[in-house]
Structure 1
Amino acid sequence: MSPRARFYRDNLGIPLVLALLVFCLFDLTNIDRVISNALLDPSTGEFILRRSQWFETLTHKWPRVIPDWTGELAIIGALLSFIWPRLAKYPQGVRVTEHAHLAPLLRWTTTYRRDLFFVIVAFALTTGVIHYLKAHTSVYCPVETTLYGGKELRYEWFENFNLLHKAGDGRCWPGGHASSGFTLLALYFIARRYRWQHAKALLGAIFVLGMVFGTTRVLQGWHYMSHTFWAGIFVWLSTLLVALVFYGRTQLDSEPQPRAVRRNVAVGAVRIGQKNAPAS
């Protein structure tokens, strides 16, 4: 299999197969409801952690800091990246920044400007995709439906989907909190670009973070489990698209490029062999 085919099999084919599995196993069955029903308090009929303020703060409000600060730092870094090339023309300005220990930071942002803008665009696109799907499917959260004490009827996303217009007021599919964790997948693609040896470990950590973000909302009754899976799939595909635009496939190939054999060594060996060979 060619590197191109392997790349698209792993990064596009597998997510699409997972999307089909999630659709068949969750959207066409009642597994989501079985999972959510198991999280109800039998005595009250409510989700056990729905009204827990400490759980809401610990798992929903505070964790948002991670993706929020990542995006904000990328924006700040991208703006700073334009300073050093202009400042370098003025020796006095260089001396001032060196004295203030700002020069290394400014040089770093200039060097990695493309990566900083990649994070910004990837975050923007994935957020836009998730918001589009929420508005154009109008799926209500479990606790908002009549199944769990709400007033709205439960529908699957494909029953309400409208390509061009908002489908209604529901805003629950895919999972928004889970998607905010999965947006950090942008960092994984940067790690792949630089062949970072711990890129796979970073990928695993980001997936765990996204799943934790999504699962905690399931425990509170604000999402079904499949909403988290769909969030991860859409964020991955959106981030992959942006990565291909910014870097191209060859820079994202996870396989390290083999080093070329030094021809001068081989030539030297031949010469030595020729020198020691007996005369014919």
Structure 2
Amino acid sequence: MNSSYARFATINVIGLLLCGLLFTWIARDGALDFRLAHLFFDPSTHSFPLRVSDALDFWGHTVLKLFTVWILVIAGVAMVASNWVESLKPWRRALFVFVVMAACAAYLVQTLKGASVHSCPWDINTFGGSAQWFPLFGPIGAMSGPGLCWPGGHASGGFAVMAGYFALRDSKAKLARLILVFSLAIGALMSVVQMARGAHFLSHNLWSMWLVWATCFVIDALMRIILPPRAAA
């Protein structure tokens, strides 16, 4: 392990630990989650008005989701094509690492979400539903509701693009940083869309980002052993 990667790994480990503690506190306290949810909640109708917005559902949910899915699909096709297309061969490792990281991160988030006992804001009694809110890692309430809402699945598609940062950090540092900024921006946008619709709390999306980040970091470390990267010229 060279000194540059050791420094990078140390920063990531410390960052993951500190963010994990912060996100745990936010999810267990609930105050910030509820304060932000109330910004989009109409107490007179006991509902989230934007939940029934066709425009937000189409552009903010369907289109953005398809956009991130197609990024992964195109990367996968390019990865396969790199076996024959000369111009893609230098990108083969990066494409492979990106696809593996993004797919694993998205799968992890969706798996956890599918087994979650935490309900969405629109299902919670404070916001017109019937479920009772309870803190992350806390005792499950008797009226926990339908669950299936932690971590944020929609935002994970945007955050998963950060796999490109890890895949290109050694060979194309400037492009890698641009991809990281883009990933965080699109992930944040997808997070706000779901919060506005009453589909997720802020902490759900923060944990989605954390899980994607941690997955990419761990896979990156393993890939350096299995498939060492080539340094930039």
Superposition TM-score, scaled by structure 2 size: 0.86
Separation (CA, whole Å) in 1 of partners of 2:115 and 2:43 = 35
Separation (CA, whole Å) in 2 of partners of 1:149 and 1:61 = 25
1:60 Cα deviation (Å)?
Answer: 0.7
Corresponding residue for residue 102 of structure 1: none
Q: How many residues end up aligned between the 2 structures?
A: 227
Q: Unaligned stretches of 5+ in structure 2?
A: none
Separation (CA, whole Å) in 2 of partners of 1:81 and 1:4 = 27
Partner residue of 1:129 out of 95, 100, 108 = 108
Superposition TM-score, scaled by structure 1 size: 0.72
1:237 Cα deviation (Å)?
Answer: 0.7
Corresponding residue for residue 41 of structure 1: 42
**Superposed counterparts of 1:148-227, under 5 Å:** 148-159=127-138, 170-227=147-204
Q: 1:142 touches 1:148 (CA, 8 Å); kept in 2?
A: yes
Is 1:140 matched with 2:141? no
1:18 Cα deviation (Å)?
Answer: 1.0
Q: 1:157 touches 1:173 (CA, 8 Å); kept in 2?
A: no
**Superposed counterparts of 1:1-280, under 5 Å:** 2-82=3-83, 84=84, 106-159=85-138, 170-247=147-224, 251=229
Instruction: Output the amino acid matched with 1:148.
Output: F
Separation (CA, whole Å) in 1 of partners of 2:214 and 2:40 = 31
**Larger deviation, residues 6-15 vs 180-189:** 6-15
1:193 Cα deviation (Å)?
Answer: 2.2
What are the superposed Cα offsets for residues 18-66 of structure 1, whole Å, 9 maximum, x if unpaired?
1101212342242211221232124322223111111111111111122
Q: Unaligned stretches of 5+ in structure 1?
A: 85-105, 162-166, 258-280
Instruction: Output the amino acid matched with 2:56.
Output: F
1:169 Cα deviation (Å)?
Answer: 5.1
Higher radius of gyration, 1 or 2 = 1
What are the superposed Cα offsets for residues 161-193 of structure 1, whole Å, 9 maximum, x if unpaired?
8xxxxx995211110111110010011122312
Shift in alpha-carbon separation, 1:4–1:68, aligned structure 2, 3 A: closer
Corresponding residue for residue 276 of structure 1: none
| Percent identity of equivalent pairs | 27
Q: What is the alpha-carbon root mean square deviation over aligned residues?
A: 2.7
Instruction: Output the amino acid matched with 2:148.
Output: R
